[in-house]
Structure 1
Amino acid sequence: MRHDLKSPIVAAVSGTLAVNILPSGMRCGVETGMVRDQAGSARNGSAVAVSSSSSSHWVDNLVAGGTASLCSKLVLQPLDIAKTILQASAEVRGSYSNLAQCLAGIVRDGGIPKLYTGFIASVAVSAPSSAVFVACYECSKNAIERASSSFPAPFQTLEDFVPLLAAAVGNVAASVVRVPPEVIKQRVQAGIYRDIFQATRAVWATEGLPGFYCGYSMQVARDIPYSALQFMTFEYLKKRYSHRENLHMDQKNSKRLVHDLCIGALAGAVACTLTTPLDVAKTRVMTQNPSDPLVYMGLQATLQKIWLEEGIAGFGRGMVPRVLYKVPASAVFLVCYEAIKRFLVTTRKVRPIRLASRKELGVYRGPRRV
């Protein structure tokens, strides 16, 4: 006697089991974790190959986030160093007052290689921290979305704010990895130390472990609103535009690429513009010479000091190179991230972890015959 297992299997494994990639004759329900063949049914007594999505999804996000960050840093590092110099204190900034003057001065003093000062430290900042961030962000977002489905109806309309909470979780975790190399990178870029090795030794000798986390709270205070604005804008526009234009999220064509680049750039522009004052404050704290008396202490005190000494213009220092850096960086990062994630999902072979029996899936066999 045969039983149609489609309904009980879907009920049993929905939301808990997933596969990575299936042969051409099968389909993968990534969101629900369903495994179905073309007929959409299984025979009595058969077993279903299942694979936990948690580890593979986590690795996908780590690899995609790290690689996407590396690509954007490789292209846009010169703008990052110009931004750091322009945002630093007057002592470090010197006579530079705009982007063109700063870039010309850097090339004049040290040639093209000088534009990539601190690149190793910059990659050490971005790749691991971006990998940790997107992994924590995606996992947190999925968990919050699953939890919110059981909330009362009025609260379910707040789905567009889920990225805000997920970004907060992701940035608190990522900043543990991000801040130490960020401190080293910015001090090298500001000319306080010759290279990352000298900077690392000096920070450890003079400040100890706390020195590597100088400005941690400011980093988090800047990154949470930045990432929240970036991902909320990106996902909102992606969802609305894709629905209107009938673009599938896995569609591979030029229209899809242009669409992702445009909304990625727009998301970066919105987030970058609104968080520049926080970025200026963070840079001031991180680029202080530890051998001199500390001038900037804490987020509120730093913002007040900038306001009193430089006015509103002080909060916008380095905005032009930061926008020119962050807008294409955001577009490249988000597009590369989604493309790499799709590539990893569609190229991984099935790796069955175990065979789930009908009994384990909770399939009802009917009353036993006596």
Structure 2
Amino acid sequence: MALQSSTSNEAQASKKLSHVHFFVWKEFVWGAVAGAFGEGIMHPVDTIKTRIQSQAILNGVKNQKGILQMVQSVWQVDGLRGFYRGVIPGVTGSLATGATYFGVIESTKKWIEDSHPSLGGHWAHFIAGAVGDTLGSVVYVPCEVIKQRMQVQGTITSWSSSAMKNGIVIKPGAEIYDYYKGLFHAGCSIWKTQGLKGLYAGYLSTLARDVPFAGLMVVFYEALKDVTEYGKQRWISSSKWQVNNSFEGLVLGGLAGGLSAYLTTPLDVVKTRLQVQGSTLMYNGWLDAMYNIWVREGMKGMFRGSIPRIAWYIPASALTFMAVEFLREHFNERGPNGDLRDVARLSIEKKKSLQEAA
């Protein structure tokens, strides 16, 4: 009877732990904080990237500026404020994306591993990352539309002097879209002029970019963690020196984010132009944009803004993963023996120790 009671208690405890594993509210909080932190720090770089990629719409295909020229232009015309235009909708969107990305990813991975073992390993990582980012896109895309339009607008002075249509300078207004004073004013303005379609402009192109990006970033991060873990076990397992989880997240997250960002740059170019063009349609959908960019600007146009995109994602991803690892390490629940209760983490649980114990 005592054995049965013990077994029953263990089953209940296991069931409870499994339930906690499937929905860990702290992961949503840590992800939201980390996402907003990374976006807020790196927003000026994102502004440069957005302006570089959208030049073909606002200024025509010819004589597009490079990185240094764009930085100089923003500074001369708008000053420091120009680099931080759209930071509020950017942070808001990153809150939603970070929360769903890290919050959903663990339960999705666990479900895939338990119900579809054949999809384990890197496939589980890819699918989990894609699902988490897709759910966040419901909030992220409208914020991204608003953020990018505010970024290309700069101050009211620069917007008035640079808005163009078919290569001809025009005054800002309904022909492109109104000048946005802030997040709510922009949302209401887009809703009145373009409706829900305007707020979700480039939605499919966003998914086309973010689903592979999110999946690839998790795959790269997990692969790098596996390599790091192998290296630690082989070379420094007997050493007293230990790698801090936050530092590991900083380095590996930066590498994973930078590589994923470069590979998905063409998709980002298409998304940016569809969202910036407003009601003055230069491209009629995702495929039309892809085709026209390739024909008019070639490979250079497809990878336009790749350097600032990578420069944004390396530190932004590094800071995000570092923040998540730090928050998990310092604020997650600890067991009775004082050890950190690892109910949710990015790497798949290794069951080797359980097998050895058996």
Q: Aligning the two structures, in what range does the TM-score lie when normalised by the shorter sequence?
A: 0.7 to 0.9
**3-state SS of 2:180 partner:** coil
Output one character per residue of 1:216-251: Cα deviation in whole Å (capped at 9) or x when no partner.
111111001101110111012112312330389xx9
Equivalent residues of 2:55, 2:64 under 8 A apart:
no
323-332 or 134-143, which deviates more:
134-143
Partner residue in 2 for 1:141:
109
Output one character per residue of 1:308-351: Cα deviation in whole Å (capped at 9) or x when no partner.
111111011111111000111111111211221333313799xx
Q: Tell me how far apart the structure 2 counterparts of residues 159 and 172 of structure 1 sit (CA, whole Å).
A: 20
- Counterpart check, 1:160 vs 2:116: no
- Counterpart check, 1:345 vs 2:307: no
TM-score where L is the length of structure 1: 0.75
Change (3 A) 1:54 1:162: closer
- Counterpart check, 1:182 vs 2:141: no
Which of the numbers 62, 65, 68 marks the counterpart of 1:100?
A: 68
Partner residue in 2 for 1:9:
9
Q: Tell me how far apart the structure 2 counterparts of residues 203 and 146 of structure 1 sit (CA, whole Å).
A: 44
Partner residue in 1 for 2:350:
none
Which of the numbers 40, 53, 57 marks the counterpart of 2:20?
A: 53
Equivalent residues of 1:96, 1:102 under 8 A apart:
no
- Counterpart check, 1:240 vs 2:227: yes
Equivalent residues of 1:85, 1:92 under 8 A apart:
no
Which of the numbers 117, 125, 128 marks the counterpart of 2:93?
A: 125
Change (3 A) 1:275 1:282: same
- Counterpart check, 1:259 vs 2:226: no
Shift of the alpha carbon at 1:273? 0.7
**3-state SS of 2:282 partner:** coil
Output one character per residue of 1:40-82: Cα deviation in whole Å (capped at 9) or x when no partner.
xxxxxxxxxxxx5268x43211111110012112211100100
Partner residue in 2 for 1:29:
none
Instruction: Extract unaligned runs of 5+ from structure 2.
Output: 154-176, 337-358
Amino acid at match of 1:282: K
Q: Tell me how far apart the structure 1 counterparts of residues 180 and 110 of structure 2 sit (CA, whole Å).
A: 44
Shift of the alpha carbon at 1:112? 1.2
TM-score where L is the length of structure 2: 0.78
Amino acid at match of 2:121: E
Amino acid at match of 1:341: R
Q: Tell me how far apart the structure 1 counterparts of residues 135 and 326 of structure 2 sit (CA, whole Å).
A: 24
Q: Tell me how far apart the structure 2 counterparts of residues 109 and 79 of structure 1 sit (CA, whole Å).
A: 17
Change (3 A) 1:86 1:160: same
Partner residue in 1 for 2:300:
313
Change (3 A) 1:209 1:80: same
**3-state SS of 1:311 partner:** helix
Shift of the alpha carbon at 1:184? 0.8
- Counterpart check, 1:195 vs 2:194: no
Q: Tell me how far apart the structure 2 counterparts of residues 132 and 85 of structure 1 sit (CA, whole Å).
A: 28
Q: Tell me how far apart the structure 2 counterparts of residues 91 and 107 of structure 1 sit (CA, whole Å).
A: 21
Aligned residues: 305
Partner residue in 1 for 2:131:
169
Shift of the alpha carbon at 1:299? 1.8
**3-state SS of 2:332 partner:** helix
Q: Tell me how far apart the structure 2 counterparts of residues 311 and 253 of structure 1 sit (CA, whole Å).
A: 48
Shift of the alpha carbon at 1:106? 1.1
**3-state SS of 1:200 partner:** helix
Equivalent residues of 2:249, 2:325 under 8 A apart:
no
Change (3 A) 1:101 1:254: farther
Q: Tell me how far apart the structure 2 counterparts of residues 93 and 65 of structure 1 sit (CA, whole Å).
A: 37
Partner residue in 2 for 1:62:
28
Partner residue in 2 for 1:88:
54
Instruction: Extract unaligned runs of 5+ from structure 1.
Output: 19-32, 34-51, 150-154, 350-370
Q: Tell me how far apart the structure 1 counterparts of residues 35 and 335 of structure 2 sit (CA, whole Å).
A: 22
Output one character per residue of 1:190-233: Cα deviation in whole Å (capped at 9) or x when no partner.
11633334422321111112211111111111001101110111
Q: Percent identity?
A: 30
Amino acid at match of 2:132: G
RMSD, matched Cα: 2.6
Change (3 A) 1:127 1:253: farther
Equivalent residues of 1:118, 1:195 under 8 A apart:
no
Change (3 A) 1:254 1:343: same
Q: Tell me how far apart the structure 1 counterparts of residues 327 and 258 of structure 2 sit (CA, whole Å).
A: 23
Shift of the alpha carbon at 1:256? 4.0
Which of the numbers 270, 282, 291 marks the counterpart of 1:295?
A: 282
Q: Tell me how far apart the structure 2 counterparts of residues 257 and 13 of structure 1 sit (CA, whole Å).
A: 30
